Structure 1
Amino acid sequence: MVSARGGRFGFVYRSRHAAYRALRRKGMSKSKAARISNAGRSFAGRSRMARKGHRRH
């Protein structure tokens, strides 16, 4: 299970555990996957990611 302890144990919001696990399955590091999955917690965060992804195409 994803850690919810925080600090050096890492932290991922419960609502974002599925996103975190998907990123980890793709071979991403724990810290990078946690940073990305936590960034998408709010609507604004998800919108920012969607716009960033769209700019690449």
Structure 2
Amino acid sequence: MVSDRGGRFGFVYKSRQRVYRALRRKGLSKTRAAEISNAGRTFPQRSVMARKAARTRQARGRKRR
């Protein structure tokens, strides 16, 4: 179980713990996975992140899979 206690136990919002675990399975560090999952707590925040990621991919010339 991912902690939502904070402090030395770390912190990931309850609603985002499934995302955190998925990122950990992909091989991200605990810190990085927590940063990403906590950043997109609400739907509008996730939408902003998705648009930014799309712009980044486009700027780097990557094809959509």
* TM-score (norm: length of structure 1): 0.88
Root-mean-square deviation (Å): 1.0
RCO higher in structure (CA 8 A, sep ≥6): 1
- The letter for the 2-side match of 1:16 is R
- The letter for the 2-side match of 1:51 is R
Identity among equivalent pairs (%): 72
What stretches of structure 1 move > 2 A for 4+ residues in a row?
Answer: none
Distance 1:45 1:35 in 2: 13
- Consecutive unaligned residues of structure 2, counting only runs of 5 or more, are 59-65
Aligned residues between the structures: 57
Distance 2:3 2:43 in 1: 23
Secondary structure of 2:31 counterpart: helix
Please name the residue that 1:25 is paired with. Answer: 25
